[in-house]
Amino acid sequence: MNTAYAFNLTSTMGHSTPPNAKVIFGNGDVFKEARGMATSLFEDYSPEHAVAKMYPYQHYRISGKNILKNYGSDITKLYYRNNVPGCMHGEFWIQQHLRYIRKFWDIYPNTRKFHISKTYGCHMPSQNKLTCAQNDVPLEHFLKHFANMYKNTYLFLMSDHGFHWREKSKFNEIVAGEYEHRNPMLYVISPKRHENLESNTQRFVSHYDVHKTLHYLLSGKQSPIGKNLITQQIPDKRSCQDAGVPKKWCNCFVKTDGRNHLHSQKGEI
């Protein structure tokens, strides 16, 4: 029976995708641990392609330079159209990612598989809520079907960072907004129940821990940094230093002159 675990106490390693993806995927070493498996990557975020740069293979690699960039100002049509369901291609963009995963699993029915989808999501400042909400229903339908069909598969639903938008708003200039930025989403759907996964949902988790867990699932090996969320229990009252989180990205509150602050890249907020 599949069991879902929600991790609410997480932390980033940097402001944007590249530094966080580098830690999660070990600068590409997780792909080396997946040797002998069928692997694939679907990354559409045009400005960076941080994960694609680490992916060493050409087969099943969808990460063209202009997958989304070539839409220009029409990119919003992939997500919404005057609040009416549908998009430029008659379906939401997330559905194309999910269909790819289903087909990839069907092509290799008796082979161990490892796939990563990094999809452009909630970056539009005035449409964050609407854009994300349009992903919810397709993702829910996919997970219900996929988890029942492929009962021996682990699914990680995660973000490299939380909401951030510094250019056109002051969202990250307040403590609550910056806390969200440094608190990425992490859910693990496991094909079986794990006591450590359950207890670790109440612990402070970093990208290093996700990396170590991926290492273990792919090869049975343990990377030297982080905690394996499946086989190890994260200590209570874990500090940022213990978790390997840089001080300037620590998501903890500290008191200065009786006021709450967050550690920040530029000192304190």
How is domain 3-268 classified at the architecture level of CATH? Answer: 3-Layer(aba) Sandwich (3.40)
b/e sequence 172-201, b meaning 16+ C-beta within 10 Å: beebebbbbbbbbebebbbeeebebbeebb
Mean pLDDT of the chain: 84
Cα separation, 209 vs 13, in Å, equals 12
User: Per-residue pLDDT tens for 118-176?
Assistant: 987 666 555 556 667 778 888 999 999 998 899 899 999 999 998 877 666 677 777 88
Q: Is 225 exposed, middle or buried (0-12, 13-18, 19+ CB in 10 A)?
A: middle
Amino acid at 135: N
Asked whether the beta carbons of 103 and 40 are under 8 A apart, the reply is: no
Cα separation, 171 vs 128, in Å, equals 12
83 dihedral zone (left: phi>0; alpha: psi -120 to 50; beta):
left
Of 98-107, 176-185, 213-222, where does mean pLDDT reach its minimum?
A: 176-185
User: Per-residue pLDDT tens for 21-43?
Assistant: 999 999 999 999 998 899 999 99
Three-state DSSP at 209 gives helix
Return the bridge partners of 268, or none.
263
Q: In sequence order, which residues have a C-beta less than 8 Å from that of residue 233 and are 6 or more positions away?
A: 196, 199, 200, 203, 227
Task: Find the angle CA(154)-CA(58)-CA(76) to the nearest 5 degrees.
Answer: 70
Mean pLDDT of 76-86: 61
Confidence check: pLDDT of 227 > 90: yes
The domain limits of the chain are: 3-268
Asked whether the beta carbons of 226 and 211 are under 8 A apart, the reply is: yes
pLDDT for 231 equals 96
- Where does 7-101 show beta strands of DSSP type E? 10-11, 38-43, 61-62
